[in-house]
Structures are given as C-alpha cells and as structure tokens.
Structure 1
Amino acid sequence: MHHHAHALAVAERLAADLAPGTRGIGLFGSVAKGTDHPHSDIDLFLAVDADPGTEVRQVQGRMVTLSRKTFADLDGGLANPWEAVTAVGAWRHAVVLHDPEGRMRRLQARARDWTWETIAAAADQWAARELVGLAEEVHKVAGMLALDRPRAAAANRAVLVLQVGYALAVADRLVCDSENDLWDAVAAAEGPAWTSAWDTAAGIAAADHATGCRAALALYRHAADRLDRHLDAAECAIVRTARDLTA
C-alpha cells in the first residue's frame, strides 16, 4: 500500500500549502477511504468564500482534483437529491485536514446522521422530473435508429444509460461512497432485468448497436414503470408517450 501512503502525504502537504486561503479542506474519495489504487486521483474539497470551481494538478506523479466550493454549496450536497446519493457517503469517509471554524466536522457529523427521510418528497419529485427530461433522449434514440444514424443514436443512448441510473438511485434511496459504486448499487437494487439491460446498453454484454439501443430504451421503460406514481397528469402524458416508443 505504498501508493496509499504516498497519496496521503501529497494530500496533507498540499492542504498545508493551501490552508491560508481557505476556510476548510477535506480529503474525499478512495484515498480518504483507503481503497485507492496507484492511479486514483486525490480529491480535495476546499471551502472558500468566492471563486468556486475545479482545478486539476499533477503533484509528485499523482493527479490531484481541487474542488473549491462555498459552504452553501457543501451544505447543498446533503440537501439536493442528485448530489446526496454520493455526497453523503463521501462525507462519512472524508478526512478533515483543515477546519479552523469546525464547520467541516459539523458537516461530517450531519452526513453521519443523515437519512433520506429529510428530503424524501424532494427526492421523488426530482426523480420524476428527471424521467420527464429524459423523454427527449428516448425520442432521439428511436428516431436516430429509424434514420440509420448510429452515432447520434449511440450518443443519446449513453445519456439514457447514465441518467436513468441516477434517477433510480434517488428513487431507491441509495447512499454510495462514490459514483464508481453507484452502478453496482443500482443493479443490486433493481434486480436481474435492469442489470441485464444496463449491461447490454453500456456495452458490457456483447451486442450489436441496435440491440444496445433497444436495451437503453428498456431502461427507460423500467424506470417509467417504477416512477409512474410520482408523475402529475402533464408529466404522465410526456413519459407515457416516450414509453410507447420503447416497446
């Protein structure tokens, strides 16, 4: 585990250098959890008052991702359904490296006590709205297949594979340590039919292009059936029209 010790040392030295310009610094991801491999990046979150953004550096042969966020943004990770899936788990395993005000540790304590019940209604609404938004991708995949435009169909198929998975992660109330864990967690929650379709649509299982696209459409159909009860009348019309194209 020499690579892990090296990654920790890089994170700690960099945090010490960056500390004067920040209100807090936390180490997140696989390095914080101790599950990193030699090619894992080092994820540092910096609490700042202004100029949020992301910077990537190369430090002693390791890729370091610096995510500068305000405390309002960091709080939002526990309040927004699309962020909470991975943010809660990440905070639970984070290593706080700089915290003069104690706010990073308070956020970590909130994450450890957090449950989906705190945002249950917002979670269902977000998953339903995501499904409505993805109806356009269904129309595009079906249309591009009919027009024999494989690249366009493949691009929209990829959007469905990723984003429908996120909608169901929220609907299933999953908490994952990182996005790397999300796809297996959704597969476990949704069962064999979903898993088979996802593997085919994502290219894990060998299949021709048209079959892969139809598998992506099947993912949408699966999600539409799961989330139908959270849709209002107008949303139902949009989703059911798209669902009809997946048959």
Structure 2
Amino acid sequence: MPHHLEAARIAAIVAAELAPASIGIALFGSVANGTDHPHSDIDLILAADGASGVQVKQVEGRMVTLTRKTPDDLAAAFTRPWEAVTAVAAWRAARILTDPQGTMHRLRTEAQAWTWDALAAEGDRWAAAALVGLAEEVHKVCGMLARGRARAAAANRAVLALQLGQPMAAAHRILVDSENDLWDALADAAGPAWARAWDDAAGVSGCDHERGCAAALELYRLATARLDTHLDGDDRAIVRTARDLAAATCTDKDH
C-alpha cells in the first residue's frame, strides 16, 4: 500500500478508537494534504473538554501525534498571530474524521474565511515585541564570539535563526499549514538578503562559523528594519541597542 494511503488508514483506526472520548477529530499536516513521506508523523487534533495536551504514540510502526484541545482553544488560534501563521492554513487543509456536533466543520469554515486584516496590527505589535526578548540572544552571540566560545555562540545563533521565524512570518502575513513550509515561504516573502542570511545562519550554505554567527545577527538587523516602527520607549531602545551591536559585530567580522 502506498505510504500516504497507509498513513490515512492508520489515522482512521486511531480516530475510531478515540471518537467516544472526543467532540471531533481531524487529520492535519502532511498526511492531510498529501505531501507526507514514509517517515512523516500522523498529526491528529482532538477537540475535547478538559485538559489540553500532546501525546505521542506508535501505531503499526508509525508515529502518531495526538494534540488535545478544547473547542474554545482551537478557535482562539485564529485570534493569536503566533498561532494563526500555521493554524489557519492547517485547518483549511484538514481532513475531518469525526464531527458529531459539527464543531470541526465550523472551525474549518472559519479558517477558510479568515484573513490577516483583522489581526494585522496586533501581529505587527506581537512580532516587534518578540525582538525585545531576542535582543539578549544578540548580546550572547556577540559576547561569546568575543570570548572565543564557539559552541555557545553557535547555540545562540541557532536560537535567533529559528525564533525569528514566527514573528517575521506574522509581519509578512504568511500562512503555512506546517512549520516545515515556513522557512521557504519566509525566504520568498522577506527577500534575497533574508534568504542568504538565513541559509548562512542555519548552516544550509556551509559557510564558516563566524560567518554563520554574523548572518544570524544580520537576520536580527533585518527584522528590526521591518518592525522598529511598532516599538516605543524602552522596548525600542533595547532593540536598537541590540541592532547596533549586531551591525558593529558584523562590520568587525567583514574586516
């Protein structure tokens, strides 16, 4: 049996077992949209009352990820920019497996009608605020480089490359149904300078360590250029200080 059909069969079996304890079950991710590979996990969302959580199971040799949330929590993802980036498109592509009360169909209908318009301003504010938290990583990269602590600098460089993804996706109004698709979508939306810096920072290009660290700092500088106007007061000062430190460190590495 082709791996996609096999995964769908396993999802149906698991959904049937869980149906009595749920309000609805939907298949998400690569199996739902037909882009899975033989090692893809099977993502199931369970709408259910009670505590939320994630459980990972192995069924017939395949990893099955069960995410349990209340209907209210599932709907709230459409109002949170940090979740909407992936939640909206994921719901649009979802395959509903059980839905006795129509909850899952209502959520998918809401996703299909959703646009960034109502959330754009909040998305920019949230994305800009994320730069405040990541300013410390800029200082760490620069400090660890100065002290010759390569592993620590590399770890913080990776934090910047990864954690800038969701804020910049919100800033560029990106929707993807899987985080696996986020990085290519962001490279396309943010432009060649971002794409080159991300490839260097993440190790795609195979550049040397110091160039990779400088690239992570460049990502922060580019994010600041996009989001600085949505900050004020101490937050703006924190981000601009980190931006200037990043720029100065990059200049030092270039000479």
- Measure the CA separation in 1 of the matches of 2:184 and 2:113: 24
Aligned to 1:17: 17
Amino acid at match of 1:101: Q
Please state how far the C-alpha of 1:51 moved relative to its aligned partner.
Answer: 2.3
**When the two structures are superposed, what TM-score results if normalisation uses the length of structure 1?**
0.98
Aligned to 1:122: 122
Structure 2 unaligned regions, length at least 5: 248-255
- Measure the CA separation in 2 of the matches of 1:237 and 1:38: 48
Amino acid at match of 1:84: A
State the secondary structure of the residue aligned to 2:164.
helix
Amino acid at match of 1:210: E
The answer on 1:59 being equivalent to 2:59 is: yes
Runs ≥4 residues deviating over 2 A? none
- 1:139-154 paired onto structure 2 within 5 Å: 139-154=139-154
Amino acid at match of 1:120: A
- Measure the CA separation in 2 of the matches of 1:157 and 1:191: 20
State the secondary structure of the residue aligned to 1:65.
strand
- 1:56-205 paired onto structure 2 within 5 Å: 56-205=56-205
Please state how far the C-alpha of 1:148 moved relative to its aligned partner.
Answer: 1.1
- Measure the CA separation in 2 of the matches of 1:228 and 1:16: 49
Amino acid at match of 1:246: A
- Measure the CA separation in 2 of the matches of 1:8 and 1:207: 40
Amino acid at match of 1:3: H
Q: Deviations over 1:170-223 (max 9, x none)?
A: 000001121011000110011111111100000001211111101000000011
Aligned to 1:34: 34
State the secondary structure of the residue aligned to 2:216.
helix
- Measure the CA separation in 1 of the matches of 2:120 and 2:71: 23
Please state how far the C-alpha of 1:233 moved relative to its aligned partner.
Answer: 2.4
Q: Deviations over 1:63-120 (max 9, x none)?
A: 1000111112211211110110011010000011111111110000000000001212
- Measure the CA separation in 2 of the matches of 1:51 and 1:77: 17
Structure 1 unaligned regions, length at least 5: none
Q: Deviations over 1:125-157 (max 9, x none)?
A: 100100111101101111111111111111111
- Measure the CA separation in 1 of the matches of 2:22 and 2:155: 39
C-alpha root-mean-square deviation of aligned residues, in Å?
A: 0.9
- Measure the CA separation in 2 of the matches of 1:111 and 1:214: 39
Amino acid at match of 2:140: K
Percent of paired sites with the same residue: 63
State the secondary structure of the residue aligned to 2:66.
strand
Aligned to 2:45: 45
Amino acid at match of 2:88: V
